[in-house]
Structure 1
């Protein structure tokens, strides 16, 4: 069955819906995922996003914590990439989130409706499908393809998506270009008071991003960014300031681990 799908759709997207991020922990600083506490009544799923490559090998490409209650990602974690890639907006869904016994994502599914968004939900909604892990931060062609999954997207005002947030994504590229390694966690905060998209998808109150860069002096440096989903300007913050801001929506410690390779005292967290 896997071979047939591969022949019909080369580089067909796959994800693993799991109880933790063990299979894709390499995308977190020191293999340690953020410490996250969901609000009461909010369910989340751990997704290791991956693809079958041309040799039919499974390649994990990033990690996503997804809320089946809000039907948007809480965050996606990834390595910052410097490669310039093209773009392919074939949007996929995750069958496993709705109980189907199929590991591979696919473009559509008749039973996909209860626990995740689908492309038709966004039609005439006034919102774009806003990438959390953006195409321009990907490090190879497979990663680029894997970003266009609805488990990595949240409702984003079109003007904000195409202007201020896009300029922010470009600025991050310049900021991280000289890093030996850069870990990024990017997500959204839910606006639970706003009308849902298609009476189903929780609107994003704001988009956020936190970066942890290992520079040429082997020192880790952390930064954070906050962008209201109403066309306001993107603000730079410390990671701690961002975590404090997020407490109104959920509790998260974005970089909970002290990096092993860092020229600072071990009792301080350089990316916080």
Structure 2
């Protein structure tokens, strides 16, 4: 099986760009010879509009770049956006800063600021490397994926040295029906097209050992709500593009997947279980593999790449990113055989037939639980995530923590069928009623009790808890009504009306009151859709409002 790193894009493209990260000035060119080193095999992506202008280091549609491991220890910094000296001249061909004013859209990087250093970083801070991205999409969803991509690629590049190159292309899908600036706020409105989606394609090429090469791509809807980011990945996943189109509900995208993924293995270390869950949730989607926790004890790792040591705290963890050894059912049970019935995966296990996942098992914020697709049906699932119990004992290698048909996470720790124990569930934002977060190796669960509880510190202080710190998450897994999020509502404790027609205690309300412009939503009008297709809220008593999103205050 050969590695396929060239993907055919049949989108209706207007212009094509590549950001060279060398010069801060942009220019139209007749070919990409001046910046061909940023393309795999020095070849630009195919399937583009033949009438499109080729522009080195400008935006309109895609940006090709490489990841330099020498920049790995340098975090991203705030941009001082550069602009050409004659704004009136460039205004006819590209966006200018005033186009973004009072729109709710960020100047979103295509070539990420954090992927470059020195003059290369300066070059990313130009409007020719910016596309209008929803503020919450840019600052939360897409930022997490950029961070995860660096986490995946940097250790590989450092390990492989000069024998490998990570070629990356990030681009946009134009939406002809949405433009900025808005008519209400600009004398020269609707000049700049807002993309409906943002996508990234990666080709990791090892120059001497092709078994270490791999490729993948992912795409997300440019919106404040969960963007439905999906990954095109391994050849055994069928109809991947169709699932992406269903997830993004777009008829404007027509493409054929040519991407195949090689085996990806790596040992990863994290300062905390919170960081582990945040990053590896996306790594599962990248490679179809799991990063199984192997240690949850103080770690001291001398790492020149990071120029520091991993935290010695009690929740520092280490995991092994591995491909699935064997097909499992959605609940984690090992399959003795797998069949395709009615377009969905079916697993034969211990004399039973159980559904299995065609796509990675990922956390769904809206449902406050893990879901995957089996055929076209979305079903509950148990993600592979740990080889240790909540007491930090080791699970049997072939039986990692999972639900295995029960309503709690557990694993076998010794001889079957007697030695087993509970696992801390993969909930990285569970919170106690007292407002403290659950201890990262002891997430909110029953652990054999009649109620959900968790430890909140290393002294084994405990309290009742909620599965998530989301402002619509109530105790014991209930969901607050969309028009009545978690709050005090005239009482001295946090509570909400729940979707089952009753009420329950809840654990957090802070994330419901943050607007994009850093103002605070009115306490009686938290961030929500309120009859529209975007998140917004009133910020005062005289009718002023703004776009908003959970967790966007930073």
Q: Output the CA distance in 2 between the equivalents of 1:175 and 1:12.
A: 28
Q: TM-score w.r.t. structure 1 length? A: 0.67
Aligned-CA RMSD value:
3.1
Q: 2:119 aligns with which of 130, 142, 150?
A: 142
Partner in structure 2 of residue 92 of structure 1: 82
Query: The residue matched to 2:123 in structure 1 has which SS?
Result: helix
Partner in structure 2 of residue 181 of structure 1: 165
State the structure with bigger RCO (CA 8 A, min sep 6), 1 or 2: 1
Q: Is the 8 A contact 1:128 1:155 kept in 2?
A: yes
Query: The residue matched to 1:35 in structure 2 has which SS?
Result: coil
Q: TM-score w.r.t. structure 2 length? A: 0.34
Partner in structure 2 of residue 81 of structure 1: 68
Q: 1:222 aligns with which of 206, 212, 215?
A: 215
Q: Is the 8 A contact 1:128 1:158 kept in 2?
A: yes
Q: 5 Å matches for 1:140-219? A: 140-177=117-154, 178-179=156-157, 180-197=164-181, 198-215=189-206, 217-219=209-211
Deviation at 1:218, TM superposition (A): 3.5
Structure index of larger Rg? 2
Residue 33 (1) aligns with residue 48 (2): no
Count of aligned positions:
208
Q: Output the CA distance in 2 between the equivalents of 1:242 and 1:146.
A: 33
Deviation at 1:183, TM superposition (A): 0.1
Deviation at 1:15, TM superposition (A): 2.6
Any unmatched runs of 5+ in structure 2? 1-21, 158-163, 182-188, 260-554
Q: Output the CA distance in 2 between the equivalents of 1:117 and 1:148.
A: 13
Deviation at 1:128, TM superposition (A): 0.4
Deviation at 1:249, TM superposition (A): 5.0
Residue 47 (1) aligns with residue 34 (2): no
Partner in structure 2 of residue 14 of structure 1: 25
Q: Is the 8 A contact 2:28 2:56 kept in 1?
A: yes
The 3 A distance-change label for structure 1 pair 157 and 115 is: same
Partner in structure 2 of residue 3 of structure 1: none
Partner in structure 2 of residue 237 of structure 1: 232
Q: Is the 8 A contact 1:87 1:145 kept in 2?
A: no
- Which has a greater percent of strand? 1
Any unmatched runs of 5+ in structure 1? 1-10, 50-63, 67-72, 94-105, 256-272
Query: The residue matched to 2:192 in structure 1 has which SS?
Result: coil
Question: C-alpha deviations, 1:120-170, integer Å up to 9, x for none?
Answer: 1101111000111111122x3111111111121111010111101100000
- Which has a greater percent of helix? 1
Q: Output the CA distance in 2 between the equivalents of 1:242 and 1:168.
A: 19
Question: C-alpha deviations, 1:168-215, integer Å up to 9, x for none?
Answer: 000000111213210001101011122443311001101100001125
Q: Is the 8 A contact 1:80 1:183 kept in 2?
A: yes
The 3 A distance-change label for structure 1 pair 108 and 125 is: farther
